[in-house]
C-alpha cells in the first residue's frame, strides 16, 4: 500500500498551523478532506477545525497548575499494619537489548529550494530479546540552518524485525515563503460550531457512505 499527502505549514511565534491540503492512497478511495490543526505552545493547546463540516475542538495537551485556595486540613490516616511494599527499581532501557548499532553522520551543507540546510544520515539496527530478527531503520534529512532545524526533506526506510514487511516514508518541502503570517490565520473561523471531540471534527470531514 502507498499513499501521498500534501500539507501547508505556517508559524508565528509559539503558534504553528498545519493544513491537510490533499491525501490519497492506492488502497481505497479517500474523499476530499479539509482539516486545519493549530498548536499553541504557550497555551499548551491543540486546536483542530474542519472547513467542510464547519466544526472545531480545542484539546489541552498538558495540565497547567494555577493558584488556588489551600485545601482544608484533613486528619492523617492511621498507620497500617505491616511495612508498605517497596516500589520497583527503575529498569534500564538497555536491559532487554541484544543488538544496538547506531550511527549518525553529517553529509554536508547545501541549499534546498533556496534555504541553507545541513544534511544528516541515520542508520539504526536494534533487536530486543525474543524478537525474531533485527529491526533496521535508515533515514536521510536536510535540516534548515536558520529555522530551528526544520526538516526540509526526509526519507525513512524501516524493516521491522517483528513483522515480514517494510515501510518507506518520503517528505519534502516544495515551496517556502519567508515572512510573518497574519494572526487571524491561527484563529478559529467565525461561525464554526464546537464539536464533542477531536475525532468528531476529523471524521466529520468524511461524507456519509451511500446506502
pLDDT for 179: 85
Read off the pLDDT of each residue in 107-123 and give the average, rounded to a whole number. 95
- The set of residues, in sequence order, having a beta carbon less than 8 Å from that of 26 and lying 6+ positions away, is 1, 2, 3
The pTM (predicted TM-score) of the whole model is: 0.61
Distance CA 140, CA 119 (A): 7
The tens digit of pLDDT for each residue in 29-71 reads 666 678 999 999 999 999 999 998 899 999 998 644 444 444 4
What does DSSP say about strands 15-25 and 3-12: parallel, antiparallel, or unpaired? Answer: antiparallel
- The set of residues, in sequence order, having a beta carbon less than 8 Å from that of 66 and lying 6+ positions away, is none
pLDDT for 67: 42
pLDDT for 68: 43
Does 208 have pLDDT greater than 70? no
3-63+95-203 CATH: 2.50.20
Read off the pLDDT of each residue in 150-177 and give the average, rounded to a whole number. 87
pLDDT for 80: 55
The DSSP annotation for 113-130 comes to TTEEEEEEEEEEEEEETT
Read off the pLDDT of each residue in 15-21 and give the average, rounded to a whole number. 89
Amino acid at each position: 500500500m502507498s499513499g501521498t499527502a500534501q500539507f501547508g505549514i505556517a508559524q508565528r511565534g509559539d503558534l504553528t498551523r498545519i493544513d491537510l491540503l490533499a491525501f490519497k492512497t492506492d488502497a481505497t478511495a479517500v474523499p476530499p478532506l479539509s482539516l486545519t490543526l493549530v498548536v499553541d505552545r504557550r497555551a499548551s493547546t491543540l486546536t483542530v477545525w474542519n472547513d467542510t463540516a464547519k466544526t472545531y475542538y480545542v484539546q489541552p495537551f498538558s495540565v497547567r497548575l494555577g493558584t488556588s485556595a489551600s485545601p482544608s486540613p484533613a486528619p492523617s490516616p492511621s498507620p497500617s499494619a505491616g511495612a508498605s511494599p517497596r516500589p520497583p527499581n527503575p529498569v534500564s532501557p538497555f536491559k532487554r537489548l541484544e543488538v544496538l548499532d547506531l550511527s549518525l553522520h553529517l553529509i554536508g551543507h547545501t541549499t534546498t529550494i533556496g534555504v541553507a540546510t545541513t544534511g544528516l544520515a541515520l542508520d539504526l539496527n536494534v533487536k530486543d530479546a525474543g524478537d525474531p530478527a533485527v529491526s533496521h531503520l535508515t533515514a536521510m534529512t536536510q535540516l534548515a540552518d536558520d529555522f530551528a532545524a526544520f526538516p526540509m526533506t526526509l526519507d525513512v526506510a524501516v524493516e521491522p524485525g517483528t513483522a515480514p514487511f517494510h515501510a518507506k516514508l518520503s517528505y519534502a518541502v516544495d515551496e517556502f515563503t519567508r515572512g510573518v503570517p497574519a494572526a487571524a490565520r491561527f484563529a478559529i473561523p467565525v461561525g464554526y460550531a464546537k464539536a464533542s471531540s477531536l475525532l468528531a471534527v476529523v471524521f466529520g470531514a468524511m461524507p456519509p457512505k451511500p446506502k
